[in-house]
Amino acid sequence: MIDTEQASIASPKVLTVSELNRLAKEVLEQSFPLFWVSGEISNLTRAASGHWYFSLKDAGAQVSCVMFRGRNSYIDWTPKEGDKVEARVLVTLYEARGSFQLTIEFLQRAGAGALFEAFEKLKTKLQQEGLFDPAFKQAIPAHPKQIGIVTSADAAALHDVLTTLRRRMPSIPVVIYPTPVQGKGAATQIAKAINSAHERNECDVLIVCRGGGSMEDLWQFNEEIVARAIANCRIPTISGVGHETDFTICDFVADARAATPTAAAELVSPSREALLNSLKQLGLQLNKNGQDLINQREQMLDYLARRLVSPSQQITQQKNQLAQVSHRLTIAIKQQLQNQQNSLSKLTLNLHHLNPQSVLTRGYAFAQTKDGKIINKSNQIKAGDAIHLSFGEGQAEAIVSKTS
| Mean pLDDT, each 10-residue run in order, the chain (404 residues) | 51 83 85 88 92 93 93 85 89 86 88 76 92 93 94 92 93 95 91 96 95 82 95 95 84 94 93 85 90 88 77 76 87 88 83 69 78 84 84 83 83
Q: What is the pLDDT of residue 249?
A: 93
Is the Cβ–Cβ distance between 251 and 264 less than 8 Å? no
**CA-based R_g, the chain, Å:** 63
Task: Check if the beta carbon of residue 118 is closer than 8 Å to that of residue 218.
Answer: no
Q: What pLDDT, on the 0 to 100 scale, is given for residue 375?
A: 82
The reported pLDDT for the residue numbered 1 is 45
Give the phi and the psi of residue 87 in degrees, each rounded to 5.
Answer: -125, 140
Angle between helix 186-200 and helix 224-232 axes, rounded to 10 deg: 10
Distance of alpha carbon 322 from alpha carbon 20, whole angstroms: 134
Nearest to 394 by CA among 373, 362, 374, 365: 365
**Spatial separation of the C-alpha atoms in residues 142 and 195, rounded to whole Å:** 23
Around Cβ 92, how many Cβ atoms within 10 Å?
Answer: 18
In whole angstroms, give the CA distance from residue 140 to residue 144: 9
> Do β-strands 52-57 and 35-46 pair in parallel, antiparallel, or remain unpaired?
antiparallel
Alpha-carbon torsion, ordered 314, 315, 317, 318, to 10 deg: 110
Contacts (Cβ under 8 Å, ≥6 apart) of 157:
151, 209, 210, 211, 240, 261
Counting Cα atoms < 13 Å in the Cβ hemisphere of 117 gives 3
Helix axes 261-268, 156-168, angle to 10 degrees: 30
pLDDT at 214: 72
Q: Alpha-carbon distance 22 to 18, whole Å? A: 6
Give the chain's domains with CATH numbers: 4-110 (2.40.50.140), 114-270 (3.40.50.280), 358-399 (no CATH)
Which long-range contacts link 393-397 to residues 24+ away (Cβ below 8 Å)?
Answer: 393/361
Phi-psi category of residue 394: left, alpha or beta, with phi > 0 → left and psi -120 to 50 → alpha:
left
HSE-up of 201 (CA within 13 Å, CB side)? 4
What are the E-state strand segments in 268-369? 366-369
Distance CA(236)–CA(271), nearest Å, equals 19
What local confidence, expressed as pLDDT, does residue 392 receive? 72
C-alpha closest to that of 226 among 213, 215, 241: 241
Rounded to whole angstroms, how far apart are CA atoms 99 and 53?
13
Of the candidates 194, 208, 201, 196, which has an alpha carbon nearest to the alpha carbon of residue 161? 208
Altogether, the residues listed in the chain come to a count of 404
Q: How far is CA 385 from CA 35, 108, 365, 403, in A?
A: 176, 165, 17, 10
Torsion of CA 283, 284, 289, 292, to 10 degrees: 140
Report in angstroms the alpha-carbon separations of 106 from 103, 185, 364.
9, 32, 163
